[in-house]
């Protein structure tokens, strides 16, 4: 590349406007995307297991933290709220419980009482399949 010729004649003027444009655009893009994708994922210590399949889109993600509190989409819920949510999701998929893909993200230190109660509750809705989230060890 011939870069030296013009440098002698003009003062080097660098136009950084496009760069700033692009950087800000990317910044906004990533901030938005990460917020959306993390909206229904709480910071939890998931069990360190190899797992069986890769995760894909689930209809409902239920997070259970170490003391056993449940959150759905960043909102704390109790068992009655969860029943309403599951009923609403069931309505959306046309009343077929097999179409429901429920992902349970549960802290590895939590007591199994929470999942046992969930199972009892799912029984009322005839939900027979549940996905458990695990974290692959690095």
Q: Which residues bind other proteins (CB under 8 A)?
A: 1-3, 5-6, 14-16, 18-19, 22-23, 26, 30, 46-47, 49-55, 64, 103, 105-116, 119-120, 122-123, 127-136, 138
Give the SS3 label for residue 62: strand
Report the residue number, 46 or 85, with the smaller CB distance to other proteins.
46
Q: Using an 8 Å Cβ cutoff, are 103 and 61 in contact?
A: yes
- For residue 1, the minimal CB distance to other proteins (Å) is 8
- For residue 91, the minimal CB distance to other proteins (Å) is 21
**Contacting residues for 76 by C-beta, under 8 A, at least 6 apart:** 69, 70
126 to each of 62, 87, 93, 102, 120, how far by Cα in Å? 17, 11, 14, 13, 10
- For residue 59, the minimal CB distance to other proteins (Å) is 13
């Amino acid at each position: 590349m011939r870069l030296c010729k013009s440098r002698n004649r003009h003062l080097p003027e660098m136009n950084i406007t496009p760069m700033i444009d692009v950087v800000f655009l990317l910044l906004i893009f990533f901030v938005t995307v990460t917020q959306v994708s993390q909206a229904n994922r709480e910071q939890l210590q998931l069990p360190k297991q190899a797992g069986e399949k890769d995760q894909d889109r689930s209809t409902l993600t239920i997070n259970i933290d170490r003391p056993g509190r449940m959150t759905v989409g960043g909102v704390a819920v109790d068992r009655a709220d969860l029943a309403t949510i599951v009923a609403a999701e069931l309505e959306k998929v046309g009343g077929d419980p097999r179409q429901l893909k429920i992902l349970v993200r549960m802290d590895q230190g939590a007591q199994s009482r929470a999942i046992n109660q969930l199972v009892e509750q799912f029984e009322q809705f005839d939900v027979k399949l549940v996905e458990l989230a695990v974290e692959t060890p690095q």
